[in-house]
Amino acid sequence: MKQSAFNSLKGNIWLDGLFGLEKENIRVDHSGNLAQTPHPKVFGNKLKHPFITTDFSESQIEMITPPLPDIRQATGFLETIHDIVSLELKEEYLWPQSIPPILPADQQIPIAQYGEDGNDAREYREFLAEKYGPKNQLFSGIHFNFSYSEKLLELLYLKANASVSFDEFKDEAYLKTSRQMLRLRWLYILLYGDSPVVDPSFELQCKMAPYPIDRNVIALSIRNSCFGYQNFDDLFPDYSSVTNYKDSIARMIQDQKIAAAKELYSPVRLKFIRNQHHISYLEFRFIDIDPLAKAGISVEALRFLHALALYGLLTGEPDDFSSAAQAEANKYHQGVALYGLNTAPFWVDIDGVRYNIWQKAQTIIREITDLFGKLDIKNAEYLDSLMQAVNLIENPKERKVYEVLNGIVKMGYIQFHVEKARQYLNDSRANSYNFHGLEDMELSTQILLHEAVKRGVSFEILDRKENFIRFQKDGNIQYVKQATKTSLDNYASILAMENKLVTKKILTEHGIRVPKGLEYTSVKAAKADFNFHQDKPVVIKPNQTNFGLGITILKENKDEHTYQRAVDIAFEHDTTILIEEFISGKEFRFFVIGDEVVGILHRVPANVTGDGSRSVSELIELKNQDTLRGKGYLTPLEKIQLGEAEAMFLKQQNKDFETIPVSGEVVFLRENSNISTGGDSIDFTDDIPDSYKQIAVQAAKALNVVITGLDMIIPDTMQEATTDNYAIIELNFNPAIHIHCHPFQGKNRKLNEKLMDALGY
């Protein structure tokens, strides 16, 4: 395998794989005490939820990502679950440390409840509590689920000319990786171990020897040491083959050393999911929660762990991995876990044999770097992780664990971690709209995916660029594009909404008021009609458009050159344009789902407020610094542009970008109020009379649509609707939901929840 790799298989394909994460977090109150409240009901049945469940205790939440093709996406998914859980807790935090917080007496630690369908799960946890003690069960951590890409393994298999089947070849790749990771796991602990101390209220017990944990701290990872959560007996599975591995575990069960395979707390587990006779993936279980990362793990640490696995696969190994060899590997692991903060060149193992562990670590990392060079792997982020590892070995005081220790010394063990938990909660609140790792997708899609995770709806991103998602739960499969294009609406209705001329004709036939106007398919004909439209307030827009593209509003329409340029702009976006009467009043976006208006926004056109000293362009730059503003619909608001449309509108006001407005003067950059062109969103759902909402629902029914964003002009919202005191400008077939969920001013209308309701979840 190694020879074929070096000779013929090179490049970043070696980094392809699937990556998943599982994280346990204890819920605590604001003082750092174990929470006594039940698992939040909002997450439903913890036996069926694919992302959010519990571990041993009702107070110990477990977060699970699906297998994902990129480490950053996996950590982002985990951080998003963390955000979702954090925001649903009432007066509680997620404890950001592997070592437990302040714990009550054993009998007051609530064992996870699973209802009538979960008796087996509860009985197993009661068995563990009786055998190991409930406090030991509350050691928490992160599991990294990893598999090589099928394409990589297939290429290796073809080039190796192996005499075994492909499944057997894969098994050997995973078995070798397992053996090597059990030998090498100490190196990861040395760099990224992060559970150095415990609260004084926590009693440590170790089958090996007493350890003065309260003074002269040199422990690096108590969770990974003999003080952590381990089997009572030294258990050594047979990693020589899948059959031998399973047989060895069966003997452990027969000898009553463990009750089931899941009670084997090996730092590396073989996982059998798709086929019980062949390995599906590996689970690395020796990762401490990083208190300095909201997700509990950094991308850099996981990339190093992935690189270590590749190194294990492609480097030679001793023939012997017997119980004695595994015990020797455990000595390295235990020694680093207990004494890894000792930065002296040597440390002493249990048998008194001296090792230069730092030199050994440096050698291995150099060999990994050389391996990447031979394989022609040029991923800058992975290479940076390796360089960071070299730096941590050369400068061990720069390891994150020292920042944690310094914080504990300064603030106290409990207060340091409580403060970190509070900080992460505030961060979750401030960035509740992003789905971490998927920030390149439309914000409305990200927000909908948030709700899917919360409800336990599995999803697959079929086309990331197109924001095309497949949702699935309990046999209900729904395909959704860009959050609001769903199977709930038929294609003809979508086409009708897309065509503003067709929309106007249908609404008129149903007695619903729309702006009067003319359609044009010829640039020449449209420009020739300037005299007809002159001195009339008009809107010039493409027949088929969205996001306010190509629209110009001329309130006076006196300048023929400006009129002609507006015609050209509209024709740049469509072969048919509309020139309509401009109806004065405020424009409101009505979001309709079925028979209900679920949100109404007034969208204020892009604007800046003068301060008497800055120019318009400087004021735009200042306003665009708001973190809610971005580009490409990835944030709740869009940045204001300094483009031709803005310049034309300023010209109508006898201004330009260099104009300095007086203090308090509001200068509008656009007439159209689209958020996509820099507008501000203000929620009016509770302020608009129901008579207008009824018209909006009637309009949606006229076009036979379930989901639409309807734009209506209302001159006076204090008056009830009549036949002529409003006008519907258009119905949008793909309305954004993020502007209703995160308005510039007003209440979150949670349209992501309402959409998931409509989809049957």
* pLDDT tens digit sequence for 726-744: 999 999 999 999 999 999 8
CA–CA separation, 641 and 631 (whole Å): 10
The yes-or-no verdict on residue 400 having pLDDT over 60 is: yes
The percent of the chain in helix, strand and coil, each rounded to the nearest 5, is 40, 20, 40
> In CATH, what class is 2-230+273-432?
alpha beta
List beta partners, residue 520: 577
The yes-or-no verdict on residue 208 having pLDDT over 60 is: no
- pTM to 2 decimals? 0.89
* pLDDT tens digit sequence for 166-176: 999 999 999 99
- 734-760 average pLDDT score: 95
- 681-704 average pLDDT score: 97
- DSSP assignment of 272-299: -SS-TTS--EEEEEEEPP-TTSTTSS-H
The yes-or-no verdict on residue 210 having pLDDT over 80 is: no
CA distances for 258 relative to 55, 190, 263, 272, angstroms: 18, 30, 6, 19
pLDDT at residue 440 in the model: 92
In the chain, CATH 3.30.470.20 sits at: 442-513+585-605+679-761
Q: Would you call 541 helix, strand, or coil by DSSP?
A: strand
- 8 A C-beta contact, residue 529 and residue 484: no
Topology, domain 516-581: Dna Ligase; domain 1 (3.30.1490)
- Residue 662 burial (10 A CB sphere; 0-12, 13-18, 19+): exposed
The yes-or-no verdict on residue 212 having pLDDT over 60 is: no
pLDDT at residue 353 in the model: 61
In the chain, CATH 3.30.590.20 sits at: 2-230+273-432
The kind and range of the H/E element at 71 are helix 71-88
Q: Could you give the percent of the chain with pLDDT greater than 90?
A: 81
Question: Which of these ranges, 80-89, 161-170, 592-601, 657-666, has the smallest mean pLDDT?
Answer: 161-170
In the chain, CATH 3.30.1490.20 sits at: 516-581
CA–CA separation, 684 and 601 (whole Å): 5
CA–CA separation, 323 and 182 (whole Å): 12
Q: Would you call 568 helix, strand, or coil by DSSP?
A: helix
Which of these, 290, 296, 295, 270, lies nearest to 281 by C-alpha position?
270
Look up residue 446 and give its two tokens: 């990200």
pLDDT at residue 622 in the model: 95
* pLDDT tens digit sequence for 268-315: 999 999 889 999 999 999 999 999 999 999 999 999 999 999 999 999
Most distant CA pair in the chain, distance: 100
pLDDT at residue 200 in the model: 78
- 520-539 average pLDDT score: 94
The yes-or-no verdict on residue 8 having pLDDT over 80 is: no
Pick the CATH number of 442-513+585-605+679-761 from 2.130.10.10, 3.20.20.60, 3.30.470.20, 3.30.70.120: 3.30.470.20
pLDDT at residue 347 in the model: 56
Look up residue 677 and give its two tokens: 């062109």
Q: Would you call 19 helix, strand, or coil by DSSP?
A: strand
Q: Which residue has the tokens 């300064």?
A: 410
* pLDDT tens digit sequence for 433-453: 999 999 999 999 999 999 999
CA–CA separation, 194 and 296 (whole Å): 10
DSSP category for residue 158: H
Q: Could you give the percent of the chain with pLDDT greater than 70?
A: 95
Overall residue count recorded for the chain in this entry: 761
